[in-house]
Amino acid sequence: MLIVKKFGGTSLMDAQRIITAARRAVDAAAQGNQVIVVVSAQGHTTDQMVKSAGAITQIPSEREMDAYLASGEQMSAGLMAMAIQSLGQKAVSLTGWQAGLLTDSVHGNARVTGLTNHRIKEELEKGNIVVVTGFQGINAAGDITTLGRGGSDTTAVALAAFLKADICRIYTDVDGVYDKDPRKFSDAVRFEQIGYADMLTLARQGAQVLHDRCVELAMEYGVKIRVLSSFRPGPGTLVSE
């Protein structure tokens, strides 16, 4: 099977969590699967970067903001590849542009339009776990773009769609998709399974657990998503037809 696993910021907060996430990827590879790992920036890195830019200028160039913000994911990807290697498994990290993830030119909220090279496939065939930076791509002019806050989910689903992965697993800090935010409402109920249309409605209403564009892409390409906790075992929620 080809599996895409995406780890969000809280799942990569510190070295221990990165190693835990790396172990999940290595276990999946040891079972004979090809594995792509998509990473977000660690913890609240992106928020801090937005603040740092704000201390320089209130009207940053959108192009430079993207060039800057994309580096948070690049740090995570390097660390994740090192963690996987330290567990004895081959791994390589790729940025959005190295992976060939093409987008339009709307800096700060770019839409994924395609995958322009075969680098990920080639690295998988060499026996690597391929770690790809979430949240970023490259436009036709060769400039770095970002996909909007929370956009690493969309990177994961886009890669799953274009490379025809069997499943896209999204690891986060809650154990699935609920009818409302489980951090705010103690009576929230977890879905075992949810259809694309209902998930899209939840995402558009602001349920942060999945980026709305990742749900749109999943629906268009029929990508099965399983939302899981990074921290505790459980079935999570299947997002599918």
Question: Residues interacting with ligand ADP, by CB under 6 A?
Answer: 8-11, 40, 150, 172-174, 177-178, 180-183, 202, 207-209
> What are the φ and ψ backbone dihedral angles of 81, each rounded to 5 degrees?
-65, -40
Q: Which of 137, 150, 176, 236 is in the footprint of Mg ion by CB under 5 A?
A: 150
What is the pattern of x (binds ligand ASP, CB under 6 A) and - over residues 7-36?
-xx---------------------------
CB atoms within 10 A of CB 122: 12
Complex with ligand ADP: residue 92 or 202, whichever CB lies closer: 202
Query: Rounded to the nearest whole angstrom, what is the least distance from the CB of residue 125 to ligand ASP in the complex?
Result: 28
In the block, residue with structure tokens 């172990």: 23
Complex with Mg ion: residue 139 or 155, whichever CB lies closer: 155
Q: Which of 11, 40, 89, 139 is in the footprint of ligand ASP by CB under 6 A?
A: 40
Complex with ligand ADP: residue 6 or 107, whichever CB lies closer: 6
Complex with ligand ADP: residue 64 or 216, whichever CB lies closer: 216
Q: Which of 137, 151, 176, 236 is in the footprint of ligand ASP by CB under 6 A?
A: 151
Instruction: Please check whether residue 237 is in contact with residue 227, taking contact to mean a CB–CB distance below 8 angstroms.
Output: yes
Q: How would you write the chain as a 3-class SS string? A: CEEEEEECHHHHCCHHHHHHHHHHHHHHHHCCCEEEEEECCCCCHHHHHHHHHHHHCCCCCHHHHHHHHHHHHHHHHHHHHHHHHHCCCCEEEECHHHHCEEECCCCCCCCEEEECCCHHHHHHHCCCEEEEECCEEECCCCCEEECCCCCHHHHHHHHHHHCCCCEEEEEECCCCCECCCCCCCCCCCECCEEEHHHHHHHHHCCCCCCCHHHHHHHHHHCCCEEEEECCCCCCCEEEEC
Q: Is 135 in the site for ligand ASP (CB under 6 A)?
A: yes
Q: How far apart are the first and last CA of the chain?
A: 20
Binding site partner of 135, from ligand ASP, Mg ion, ligand ADP, none, Cβ cut-off 5-8 A by kind: ligand ASP
Complex with ligand ADP: residue 113 or 201, whichever CB lies closer: 201
Q: Which residue is nearest to ligand ADP (CB)?
A: 8
Could you tell me which stretch among 8-16, 20-28, 88-96, 212-220 binds Mg ion (CB under 5 A)? 8-16
Q: Is 145 in the site for ligand ASP (CB under 6 A)?
A: no
What is the contact surface with ligand ASP in residues (CB under 6 A)? 8-9, 40-41, 46, 72, 134-135, 149-152
